[in-house]
Amino acid sequence: MTAAVTLDNVVVAVEQVESGGAWWAKSSAGCIGVMQICPQWAHVPRTWLWHPEINRQEGRRLLTYWHRKARGNWAFALAAYNCGWAGLKGQCGVGYARLVLSKARKLEEPT
């Protein structure tokens, strides 16, 4: 069932949950921008993460990475996006994954 959602809709849903689209968002953990990217995971300089398009590109790259590691399972991929390797084992991020998937599925519905 989770395979039915597209990466594009997952990106939009993650952005909605993480920052509500606020490019200036910064978490207490130091994550930055619309997709709340942790600078240590980024492949670009920290200051570039404040640019929404670059932030989305990095978020998309990370989501693709975790999706591959989770063998195509969006629930585990999103849990890992939220809390790292422990998310792949279902040890954290479960509620986050459910919320994002719920939003992504709504985006999949015909209008």
Task: Give the tens place of pLDDT for each residue, 50-77.
Answer: 999 999 999 999 999 999 999 999 999 9
Cα separation, 21 vs 31, whole angstroms: 14
Task: Please state the pTM of the whole predicted model.
Answer: 0.92
3-state DSSP helix/strand/coil percent for the chain, to nearest 5? 65, 5, 35
Domain ranges of the chain: 2-105
Q: Is the pLDDT of residue 42 over 60?
A: yes
Mean pLDDT on 83-100? 92
* Cα–Cα separations (whole angstroms), residue 105 to 3, 9, 11: 10, 8, 12
CATH of segment(s) 2-105: 1.10.530.10
Tell whether the model's pLDDT for residue 105 goes beyond 90. Answer: yes
**Mean pLDDT computed over 28-49:** 96
* Separation of alpha carbons 71 and 22, rounded Å: 31
Q: Is the dihedral of CA 68, 106, 26, 28 positive or negative?
A: negative
Q: Which amino acid is at 50?
A: W
How sure is the predictor about 3, in pLDDT bands with cuts at 50, 70 and 90? very low
Tell me the three state secondary structure of residue 59: helix
